């Protein structure tokens, strides 16, 4: 088995694990007992989506997808700050 085959096997396994985690996060978003649980699940889903896109970019040898994953992660971080501010102060805006 060549190193390339090992890498492809690991990446395929990781992609499958991420798909399972997506399903679990979606269940938590839909059934979350409280609003903070749903927000945390949605936040984790977003970061896992960015990591999934990075793994997929390596698997497909597509560097542009890695750039998109980075910008998605930055947007998720900005959304985290915005949601945390809203939940803390109950006000919207800068």
| pLDDT score recorded for residue 22 | 95
Instruction: Return the H-helix or E-strand segment holding 89.
Output: helix 63-89
Q: Is 83 inside a domain boundary?
A: yes
| pLDDT one-digit tens code per residue, 25-60 | 999 999 988 888 888 899 999 999 999 999 999 999
Question: Residue 47 — left, alpha, or beta (φ > 0 → left; ψ -120 to 50 → alpha)?
Answer: alpha
Of 54, 52, 66, the closest CA to residue 17 belongs to 52
How many domains does the chain fold into? 1
CA angle 39, 45, 47 (to 5 degrees): 105
Overall pTM > 0.95: no
Q: Is 70 inside a domain boundary?
A: yes
| pLDDT one-digit tens code per residue, 64-93 | 999 999 999 999 999 888 888 888 887 666
Q: Is 72 inside a domain boundary?
A: yes
Instruction: Report the alpha-carbon distance of residue 53 to residue 51 in Å, rounded.
Output: 5
Instruction: Report the alpha-carbon distance of residue 68 to residue 62 in Å, rounded.
Output: 11
Domain that holds residue 53: 3-89
């Amino acid at each position: 088995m060549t190193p390339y085959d090992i890498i492809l096997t690991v990446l395929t396994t990781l992609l499958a694990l991420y798909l399972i985690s997506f399903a679990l996060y979606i269940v938590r978003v839909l059934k979350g007992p409280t609003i903070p649980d749903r927000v945390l699940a949605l936040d984790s889903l977003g970061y896992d989506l960015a990591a999934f896109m990075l793994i997929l970019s390596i698997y497909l040898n597509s560097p542009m997808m890695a750039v998109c994953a980075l910008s998605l992660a930055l947007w998720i971080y900005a959304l985290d700050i915005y949601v945390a501010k809203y939940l803390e102060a109950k006000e919207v805006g800068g």
